[in-house]
Amino acid sequence: MEISGYSLNELLGQNPRIFSSGEKTKAEYKALWDTITSGKEWKGEFLNRKKNGENYWENASISPILNEKGKITHFLAVKEDITEKKLIDQALRNSEQKYQTLARISPVGIFRTDAKGSTTYVNPTWCEISGISAEEALGNGWLKKVHPDDRRTLNENWQQSVNNEAVSYSEYRFIRSDDSIVWVIGKAVPEMDADGKLIGYVGTATDISEHKKLESTKEILINISNALLATESLHDFSNYIFDELGKVIQTNNFYIALYQEETQMFSAPFIKDSLDADLTEFPVGKTMTGLVIRTRKSQLINKERFKSLEQAGEIELLGPPSDVWIGVPLFINDNVIGAIVIQNYDGEKRLDEEDLKILEYAAPQISLAIARKRTLEDLKAALEKAQESDRLKSAFLANMSHEIRTPMNGILGFTELLKEPQLSGEQQQEFIEVIERSGARMLNTIRDLIDISTIEAGQVSVMNSETDMQEQLEQIVTFFKPEAESKGLRLHFNLPAGESTTCFTDSEKVYTILSNLTKNAIKYSKKGSIEIGCNKNQDCLAFYVKDEGIGIPQDKLESVFDRFVQADSRLSSDYEGVGLGLSITKAYVEMLGGKIWVESEEGVGSTFYFTIAKKNKQGLEIKKTILEPEKTDKITIKKSEIKLKILLVEDDPMSQQLIKHMLSGMYDEIIIANNGIEAFDYAKTISDFDLILMDMKMPDMDGFEATRLIRQFNKEVIIIAQTAYSMLGDREKTIDAGCNDYISKPINKPDLISLINKHFKHQP
């Protein structure tokens, strides 16, 4: 009564509606009446009106009172004045509404959490910055969008602040749904109730991406400068630039185009593109990159601007169209050297003016770095070329020594054996044939040397005459057919039927070219056929020599015509030659106004093509040099009583035969090993060899390696190196490998016997 202002007498007999303020509806009153008349208790709040007309709030509990028969006789209502509480709640709601309004219009991201640190509210600006919806952000949902590299540390620091009820401050990154990265500074302070108890946190998130981009760009430029010497190639260096710029710009589709003014071409030492990754070279033309070069200005081109430029005839599309494209020129001393380009196929908003500014800021340093890298690569390439040339020349000299001394060994050695009076006529004939083969091999080597020397000296002239190419091919096939058939190869030529192949050219050089190519085809073929052909084109004759031999590795195709290449010690030692034949062939082809090239596949075969012009100026006759064999004095050889068990390691059958005859009468047993592997196996299984004569250059395993392996288990056996190499330091190399002594080819019988006696002088 005190609350309502009514007296008891005024209330007795009155309907409770006397207190109604009209706030509750008839339906609400009906629901209340239905509850209590059904025998249940009703609880709720009323906004009632006092006698004086003022409204007040009360919390009510109304229960039915039942008699002994269970019938409702009346109702009991217990009420509590909650007006003050309601006013406080309303004030809080008003305050919260004002807070929400301010938060919605704030330019800073705002968030709130409960006492455990779980997010309960984020404002629209926070959602805009992070790219996360308000629903996704609730609880710890926001943490899923934090950059993986920042997530663990940020969460640990945040939980530590919550546990300590301390202020939280951190820098971290959000990854938006479009894969863009946003840097933010997050700051949160504890929120306390009236009793000083923690009820949650209020915090802000500020976008600092632009500041971070500028800061990162400066760091990137320093890193790029430092990487100049650390990267191996311009491609690797460009890849490093790509990785570094990717820290601040979306570089999913990126390339560097270097401008070649003479050819009006772009070369792309580096390209990363999801749709056009194979573009490594393209014409300047009316490309967008070409527009950057022509205008000497940066370009940001979206679909609308592309259409406008295309209609104006300024640009033409090259490759797949992008939604947005940025190109920035690269300058050195005011000269445009190229452009750095990024583009995106997934929306125009992926790249903007800010990205353009970053590229422009970085471009001068990148230009300087690229120019320096190109200079360093040019210097490195020149140095490597010089070193490779020196290495090949050294290998050539070593191989030349081998190619001269090995046949000389046969010539001089068997010539010396022919002087022995007890030889049968059959043995004499056998030795003479060996001498002839060795002489022919040496003559080929000397001829190649003379040819390449006269070519380098510019003393080779062209002698043109009417030449019948069919006759040339017939002569080649006739000459080489026996050699080819001895290896089981089929050699034939192919000419167009009914077509004249007569040409005014140097017949001798054409024959040499065809001869060299046919010799190579036979040398490097073990089966199949060899076809020589000629076709007459409008301006030239086109020839080919096709085999089914071992083929040429793809990385050797460009260098196969370089001199000394076969002499490269990394190549197989199974084939004779000094590596000059194809160099001579190429030089002759070019003298005849043509060009030469090769197509090959390892294990399938090779086809050499060359052309010669139909007309050439007539030259002078080439002088020829005739070499006379050197005479040798007669030597008397003293018999030896030494009887040894010898392992002769030699891959050349002629040398095997020669040494066996030289040592006739000096051994009880001599075993032949054809390479280092066989030598190792014999030495491992037969332990009582007195002497090993070790050839140092052999296929599969050379003498140096074989000697080193044998010395691991046999320190006593005498090993004498016998080699066709005679370069300075070769003796020291053989001794270092484990040999006791050294003899060079061609081997002189008295010297060999003397050397053996030196090591076995105490044996009977």
Q: What is the DSSP letter of 523?
A: H
Q: Which residues, in sequence order, are bridge partners of residue 281?
A: 267
Burial (0-12, 13-18, 19+ Cβ within 10 Å), 629: exposed
User: Distance (Å, rounded) from C-alpha 369 to C-alpha 356?
Assistant: 19
End-to-end Cα distance, the chain: 148
Which tens digits make up the pLDDT trace of 454-482?
A: 776 676 778 788 888 888 899 889 888 88
Rg value, the chain, Cα: 49
Quote helix, strand, coil % in the chain, to nearest 5: 40, 25, 35
DSSP 3-state assignment of 256?
A: strand
User: Distance (Å, rounded) from C-alpha 313 to C-alpha 550?
Assistant: 54
Q: What are 713's two structure tokens?
A: 């288990």
Q: What are 283's two structure tokens?
A: 């014409």
Alpha helices, DSSP H only, in 639-741?
A: 653-662, 676-685, 703-711, 730-737
Looking at residue 226, its pLDDT comes to: 80
Looking at residue 545, its pLDDT comes to: 94
How far lies 542's CA from each of 26, 468, 606, in Å?
110, 14, 16
Q: Which residues, in sequence order, are bridge partners of residue 744?
A: 723
Q: Return left, alpha or beta for 453; rule: phi > 0 is left, psi -120 to 50 is alpha, else beta.
A: alpha
User: Distance (Å, rounded) from C-alpha 648 to C-alpha 558?
Assistant: 40
Say which residue the tokens 């108890």 belong to: 197
pLDDT < 50 positions in the chain: 566-573, 578, 616-640, 726-728, 762-764
Contact indicator for 338, 259 with CB cutoff of 8 Å: yes
Residue 82, CB half-sphere, CA atoms under 13 Å: how many?
Answer: 15
Note the residue count of the chain: 764
Say which residue the tokens 């076969």 belong to: 566
Dihedral sign for Cα atoms in the order 119, 123, 126, 128: positive
Helices (H) and strands (E) in the chain, counts: 20, 26
Contact indicator for 694, 715 with CB cutoff of 8 Å: no
Say which residue the tokens 């949160």 belong to: 188
Which tens digits make up the pLDDT trace of 324-362?
A: 999 999 998 889 999 999 998 887 877 888 888 888 887
Biggest alpha carbon distance in the chain? 168
Q: What are 645's two structure tokens?
A: 């068990």
Which tens digits make up the pLDDT trace of 9-68?
A: 776 767 676 777 777 778 888 888 888 888 888 888 888 787 777 888 888 888 888 888
Looking at residue 627, its pLDDT comes to: 29
Contact indicator for 717, 689 with CB cutoff of 8 Å: yes
Looking at residue 445, its pLDDT comes to: 67
Which helix (H) or strand (E) is 6 found in, with range?
Answer: none
Closest CA to 161 of 189, 126, 184: 189
